Structure 1
Amino acid sequence: MSRVVVALGANLGDRGSTLRAAAEAVAALPGVRPVASSHEVESVAVTLDGPDDAKPRYRNAVVIVDTDLEPQAFLDALHGIEDAHGRTRDVRWGDRTLDLDVVAVDDLRIDTATLTVPHPRAAERAFVLAPWLDADPAAVLPGAGPVADLLAALGDDTERVDEPRLLAEPTRASAPERNVTSA
C-alpha cells in the first residue's frame, strides 16, 4: 500500500459541498482506505499571472489515503471524480468546480507526461501546506522538508472555514486546532 496526499480545490458552485462529496468519493474508491483529512480553508485564486482577487475565492482541503492502486491509476480515478463534478479543462489554472491533485505518494519521485510527484508547486502553496499540516502535523514534503517549516517560511495566507473535517477518521492523530474565525 502507498500513502497518498490529495489536495482538493474548488472556486465555482457550492465549493464546500463539492469538496466533501469529492473526499467521500476518493475514500470510496476500490483499493483506497482513508487515513486523515483536513478542515477546509479559503484562499485567493491563483492564475498563470499570479494571485487574482477578482476571481472567485477557492475552498481547499487535503485528504490522505492509503491505496494499493498504482499512481497513474489513482490519478485516473481522481480525474473521473473531477469529471463527475463538472470539471472542464479549458483554461490552464482557470476557475473550476473541482481540482484534485496528487501531492505526494510515499517518498516516490515520478515525472511522466501526466503525473509529477511530489507536486512541483506544493512547497509554494499555503492552500496545500496549511490543510496538509492540519491533517498530519508531522507531514514531510519529499525533497523539500517538514510541511510545518515550509508553511512557516512561506506564510499562511489561508483562512480556516468553520466546517468539520472532510472525513471522519478514527485513525487520525490529534492535531492542535488552528484559530477559527466566523465569516
Structure 2
Amino acid sequence: MNTAFLSVGTNMGDREAYLKLAIASLREMEGIQLVETSSIYETAPVGVTDQADFLNIVVRLATTLAPLELLAVCQRIEQELGRERTIRWGPRTADLDILLYNDDAIESETLSVPHPRMRERAFVLIPLTELAPECTDPVTGRQFRDEPAMQEGGVALWGSLEVGRL
C-alpha cells in the first residue's frame, strides 16, 4: 500500500460542499482508502488575485494506485465537480493536486512529485504539517515545517469537515 498526500481546494459556490463532494468521490474510488483530512484553511488567491478566497485541505490516502493512475482519478473528480481550466490560477470548483507519493521523486510530462510549488505555499504546508508534522521533502531532505513559506501568514483556520468517520 502506498501513502499519498493530496491538496484539495475550491473558491466557487458552496466551497464547503465542494470539499465534501471531493472527499466523497475519493472515498468511492477503488484502490483508495481515505486515512485522514486536515482542518479547513481559508486563504487569499495566488496568481490571479481578483477572485474569491479559497478553502483548502490536505488529505492522506492509502492507495494501491500508481502515481499516474491517482492523477487520472484527481482530474476525473475535478471534471465531475465542474472544473473548467480557462484561466491559469483562476477560480475553480475543485482543485486536487498530488503533493507527495510515498517518498518518491517523480518527474514526467504530466506529473511532478513532490508538487513543484508546494514549498512556496503556506496554504499547502500548514494543513500538510497538521497531518504529518515530521514530514520531509524527498528531494531536499528538509522538514516541510521548516520551509520559509510557513511563516508568511495569510492562512486562517476556517473549520473542520464533518464528513463522517474516516
Same fold flag (TM > 0.5) = yes
Instruction: Check if 1:55 corresponds to 2:44.
Output: no
SS in 1 for 2:46: strand
**Which residue matches 1:174?**
none
Change (3 A) 1:157 1:166: farther
SS in 2 for 1:161: strand
- Which runs of no fewer than 5 residues in structure 2 stay unpaired? none
How many Å separate the matches in 2 of 1:150 and 1:28?
A: 34
**Which residue matches 2:158?**
161
Identity fraction in percent: 32
**2:122–2:149 Cα contact (<8 Å) kept:** no
SS in 2 for 1:46: coil
| 1:68 corresponds to which of 39, 64, 71 | 64
CA RMSD in angstroms, aligned pairs only: 1.8
Length-normalised TM-score, structure 1: 0.83
Spell out structure 1 runs of 4+ moving beyond 6 A: none
Encode CA deviations 1:123-180: one digit per residue, 9 max, x unaligned.
00001011111222222232242122126754332000123466634xxxxxxxxxxx
Instruction: Check if 1:30 corresponds to 2:30.
Output: yes
- Matched AA of 2:160: E
- Matched AA of 2:157: R
**Which residue matches 2:19?**
19
**Which residue matches 1:139?**
135
**Which residue matches 2:46?**
46
Instruction: Check if 1:100 corresponds to 2:128.
Output: no
Deviation at 1:29, TM superposition (A): 1.2
**2:10–2:94 Cα contact (<8 Å) kept:** yes
How many Å separate the matches in 2 of 1:100 and 1:149?
A: 24
- Matched AA of 2:2: S
- Which runs of no fewer than 5 residues in structure 1 stay unpaired? 170-183
**2:40–2:55 Cα contact (<8 Å) kept:** yes
Change (3 A) 1:73 1:63: same
**Which residue matches 1:181?**
none
Deviation at 1:27, TM superposition (A): 2.6
**1:36–1:167 Cα contact (<8 Å) kept:** no
